[in-house]
Amino acid sequence: MKRLVVATVALLVAASCSGGSESGTTSTAIGATTSTVPGATTSTPPTTSTTVAALEPTYVIGAAGIGDDYYPALGNGGYDVEHYRLDLAYQRDGSVAASAMVRATALDDLASFNLDFIGWDIDRLNVNGTPTLFDRYDGELVVAPVELASGDVFAVEIDYRGTPAPAVSASMPFGIGWSSGPEGEQFVVAEPDAARSWFPSNDHPLDKATFTIAVTVPDGFTAAANGELIGVAEADGTTTFQWSMDTPMAPYLATVVIGDDWAIVEDPVASAEAGVTIRNVLPPDLADTPPAVLETTGRMIKVLESSFGPFPFDEYGIAVVGGFPAALENQTLSVFGRPMVEAPYFEYVLVHELAHQWFGDSVSVGRWGDIWLNEGFATFAELLWIEEQYGSGAYREEIANRIEAARVGGYGPPATPPPNDLFNSSVYQRGSFVLVALRDEVGDEAFFDTLRTYAQQFANGNATTEDFIAVAEAKAGRNVDEVFDVWLYGQQVPA
Ligand code: TRP
Ligand code: ZN
């Protein structure tokens, strides 16, 4: 009897490891999940492991992390999400009543699985229509017991409510996630780890999904989200705006923007120029008089398309919110703080966030440590815009100035930013110098072919530094390690 139990536990662990190793999960994560499965005596592993042995197939515990060495708690193992449907009812007092439907495919025979979720009160959780037990700890929502066979498509429905607020991030000293501005506007900026602060998710870019986001607001308010506005419905004092994002999206790029008397302003001139629907989400004063620079969005798309290939989505625009001194490239709807829009360098932030639609949103990092693949590329787009506007002399001069600043600033290698300072200046500046140096090394033809091939090959998916280097090498037709050794991995900025 004793021997049987030992053998069964070994089998269980082996099964867990083989499931987890696909996503690089550690045994620590599995152990942590096991100990917190609610009602462990009634669920299968590990206390009733003899029962597990009797089951065919053997059910395993879904891992609590997807295997990202920078942020091990992000994402989960054992399933792949296809679609999120979020219904959010926003009230004037700032509270939100929400319902999330997560449709996923099991990648293992699952006795339990995790979602990432921080805060809020959960009223109800169903799996395939059946009320199911759950437990919560440290940003993990553990759903068990379940019996899902590998390949099963399942739907998790979660009703939850609360008053959303920014959450602590592992990556920076600021709260991120659901935020509010001085005029009561609401907006979500969640990169890299705050999707889980506003909806239960597999919060890692490795698991992209399509989204439907329906936001109900008091009459007179406007609500926007990613993608296309597919419906506006009015009912007893409220309006529901339904948005659809049909191209797979990393959860951290999902957003909602809500404002009193705000407008969704289409720009027919820019749309015609770009061949992409351009619509911006603006507060009343800017809707009346949009910032003049915004009109260049159409031309920016054309210019970036000539370097990166076709714009990856069907629409684009920005939302301008108060009290936010930054900008974030949410898929098809970047969020800009007013200070950025009013700054003399607005044009460069505009082209930067636009470039992220290719590099960051369509091609997303496979691990957060590779963030230079987002920020270095978007910063390089600023240089391309300078070159386009003012010529190659201005491009060279700007690069020389930025390299000097990076040298004086002692920027370390962009390949390995500190996890608690992920968006440091090096990933932006030195990240862009990697591309400048590669372009100088291989010439424009091979270089832009590299960018376009990389954008196309990994579109709607994920890439790593190794993936990019492999494309660069193939297009150069020779080894280009020197460029990466010096600019990406080198401790110091070269003299
Ligand atoms: N990706 C943003 C940029 O384009 C920077 C950023 C990362 C950010 N996380 C954020 C901005 C959260 C606002 C909030 O540079
Ligand atoms: Zn950026």
What token pair was written down for 379? 């910063």
Q: How far is CA 117 from CA 107, 160, 379, in A?
A: 21, 11, 32
Query: Looking at the predicted structure, is the pLDDT value of residue 379 above 70?
Result: yes
Structure confidence at residue 180 (pLDDT): 97
Q: Ligand 1 centroid to 326 CA: how many Å? A: 7
In b/e form, how buried is each residue of 161-186, taking b as 16+ CB within 10 angstroms? bbebebbebbbbeeebbbbbbeeebb
Structure confidence at residue 55 (pLDDT): 52
What is the average pLDDT value for the chain, to the nearest integer? Answer: 90
Question: Which residue's CA is minimally distant from atom 7 of ligand 1?
Answer: 191
Question: Which residue's CA is minimally distant from atom 6 of ligand 1?
Answer: 328
**Mean pLDDT for the stretch of residues 220-224:** 98
Q: Which residues line ligand 1 (CB under 6 A)?
A: 176, 189, 191, 326-329, 352-353, 356, 375, 378, 423
Q: Which pLDDT band, with edges at 50, 70 and 90, does 56 fall under?
A: low
**Mean pLDDT for the stretch of residues 118-134:** 98
More confident residue, 440 or 23: 440
Q: Which pLDDT band, with edges at 50, 70 and 90, does 21 fall under?
A: very low
Its sign, for the CA torsion 309, 312, 317, 323, is negative
The number of CA neighbours under 13 Å toward the Cβ of 15 is 25
Minimum-distance ligand 1 atom for the alpha carbon of 324 = 13
**Mean pLDDT for the stretch of residues 448-452:** 99
- Provide the percentage of residues in the chain whose pLDDT is more than 70: 88
Structure confidence at residue 495 (pLDDT): 81
Query: Looking at the predicted structure, is the pLDDT value of residue 97 above 60?
Result: yes
Residue 378 in 3-state DSSP? helix
CA-based Rg of the chain, rounded to a whole angstrom? 24
Q: Among 152, 246, 143, 255, which residue's Cα sits nearest to residue 199? A: 255
Global pTM value:
0.90
Query: Looking at the predicted structure, is the pLDDT value of residue 248 above 60?
Result: yes
Question: Which residue's CA is minimally distant from atom 1 of ligand 1?
Answer: 328
Q: Ligand 1 centroid to 353 CA: how many Å? A: 9
pLDDT tens-digit series, residues 326-342: 999 999 999 999 999 99
Q: Ligand 2 centroid to 275 CA: how many Å? A: 24
- Torsion, Cα of 37, 43, 44, 45 (10° steps): 20
- 8 Å CB contact between 423 and 372: no
Minimum-distance ligand 1 atom for the alpha carbon of 172 = 9
Q: Ligand 2 centroid to 304 CA: how many Å? A: 15
Structure confidence at residue 14 (pLDDT): 30
Q: Ligand 2 centroid to 228 CA: how many Å? A: 23
Strand 209-218 relative to strand 79-90, pairing: parallel
Question: Which residue's CA is minimally distant from atom 5 of ligand 1?
Answer: 328
